Amino acid sequence: MIIEASVPLKLTLFGEHAVVYGKPAIAATISEFLKVKVTKSDRFTVVSPSLNLKGVKVNLDDMKVENEQVSRLLNYVSESIKAVGNEPVKVEIESPVEPSVGLGTSAAVIVGTIAAYSTFLGNQLTKEEIAMKSHEVELKVQGIGSRMDTYVESLGGIILFNGNKEERLESKLSFVSGYFKRSMTTAEMLRKVKEFKEKNNNLFSRIIDSIGDLVMEAKEYMVNNDEDGIGRLMYVNHGLLFSMGVTVPEVDEVISRARNVGIKGAKISGGGAGGSVIMTPDPPSAFLLRSFGAYVINASFSEGGVTIKRIR
């Protein structure tokens, strides 16, 4: 039997990082999908051609991986397997993008593995159950993190996260997105933001309060399809992320240039330190991203979240 889960990647439209400290945020699934295939096997194996390990196949028997770098790359997969069962399987991951680009690849690996492996074991979970289990795994591996990425990729759509509530949003707005090489993973950036918080507690509170306020304003602009309003807030959100050290010069340059050439809005999307950048869909947006070396992706919104099918 072969089970395949297809998981949409996501954009964080507003509120990344602040959401980890209880502030609202908006995320949306896009039309790029990561696939996880689970097949019967006599030993645990993970195959992921997009992981830059020069074609190494890793044997996860006993869930022990000797090489530390490999272990770090695979711990989202191995912890997801452990959360579901212990019957040996081969897990194959096929990603449309490189790992760690701010598009929720970590969440997609977890959601896909949990969805496919639990179905393989005859225990089909609801999307809410997949979301909940996936968040536990992401938190365990990263140490810090919100439920936003795992939830939106499990259920799909445009979702406002506000405290422990989720609100589905309808909007005709669209975004252009491209990603840059990252200098650190989201887990590392989350620790950096925590250090910033510890050194600047009052300031940090005021910055994330402002992010929270602009997210609630952005919600109104989203549902009213107001691209000018959304664009203005994208630059403000980016500036507040800059102030906490979440951005890198290459990305700040492209955002600055975007404003200079009249693009309505631009900001990073996701964990930062490079990674994904989103812009309003003005004529020069995709060209500008490419001219700065970004890889442009299909950022049109998708609905429905994770899908699971039996291949054989």
The footprint of Mg ion (CB under 5 A) covers: 106, 186
Binding mask 30-69 for ligand ATP (x = CB under 6 A): ------------------x-xx------------------
Reported residue count of the chain is 312
Within its chain, how far is the Cα of 97 from the centroid? Answer: 12
C-alpha closest to that of 298 among 22, 32, 108: 32
Helix 148-155, helix 127-142: angle, nearest 10:
150
56, two tokens: 């190494």
Within residues 236-295, the interface with ligand ATP by CB under 6 A covers: 270-271, 275
109 interface partner picked from ligand MEV, ligand ATP, Mg ion, none, CB below 5 to 8 A per type: ligand ATP
CB 185 within 8 A of CB 105: no
17 interface partner picked from ligand ATP, Mg ion, ligand MEV, none, CB below 5 to 8 A per type: ligand MEV
CB closest to ligand ATP, residue no: 271
Residue placing its CB nearer to ligand MEV in the complex, 162 or 186: 186
Q: What is the nearest approach in angstroms of ligand ATP to the Cβ of residue 228?
A: 27
Q: Is 73 in the site for ligand ATP (CB under 6 A)?
A: yes
154: three-class secondary structure by DSSP:
helix
Alpha carbons 163 and 177: distance in angstroms, whole number: 27
Q: What is the nearest approach in angstroms of ligand MEV to the Cβ of residue 109?
A: 13
Alpha carbons 63 and 37: distance in angstroms, whole number: 19
Within residues 179-208, the interface with ligand ATP by CB under 6 A covers: 185-186
Eight-class DSSP state of 225? T
Q: What is the nearest approach in angstroms of ligand ATP to the Cβ of residue 205?
A: 23
CB 172 within 8 A of CB 281: no
Q: Which residues of the chain form contacts with ligand MEV (CB under 6 A)?
A: 12, 16-17, 19-20, 104, 145-146, 148-149, 186, 270-271
Cα within 13 Å of Cα(97), Cβ side? 32
Strands (E), the chain: 2-14, 25-40, 45-47, 58-59, 89-94, 158-162, 165-169, 176-180, 266-269, 275-279, 295-297, 307-310
Residue placing its CB nearer to ligand MEV in the complex, 100 or 285: 100
71 interface partner picked from ligand MEV, ligand ATP, Mg ion, none, CB below 5 to 8 A per type: none
Helix 68-84, helix 127-142: angle, nearest 10:
150
48 interface partner picked from ligand ATP, Mg ion, ligand MEV, none, CB below 5 to 8 A per type: ligand ATP
Q: What is the nearest approach in angstroms of Mg ion to the Cβ of residue 270?
A: 7
Alpha carbons 254 and 115: distance in angstroms, whole number: 37
145 interface partner picked from Mg ion, ligand MEV, ligand ATP, none, CB below 5 to 8 A per type: ligand MEV
Residue 252 designated active-site: no
Q: Is 103 in the site for ligand ATP (CB under 6 A)?
A: yes
Sheet holding 176-180, edge to edge: 266-269, 275-279, 176-180, 295-297
Q: What is the nearest approach in angstroms of ligand ATP to the Cβ of residue 135?
A: 13
Amino acid at 278: I
The catalytically annotated residue of 149, 226, 228, 252 is 149
Q: What is the nearest approach in angstroms of ligand ATP to the Cβ of residue 254?
A: 17
Q: Is 99 in the site for ligand ATP (CB under 6 A)?
A: yes
3: region left, alpha or beta (phi > 0 left; psi from -120 to 50 alpha) = beta
Q: Which residues bind ligand ATP (CB under 6 A)?
A: 48, 50-51, 73, 76-77, 93, 95, 99-107, 109, 149, 185-186, 270-271, 275
Query: What amino acid positions are annotated as catalytic residues?
Result: 149
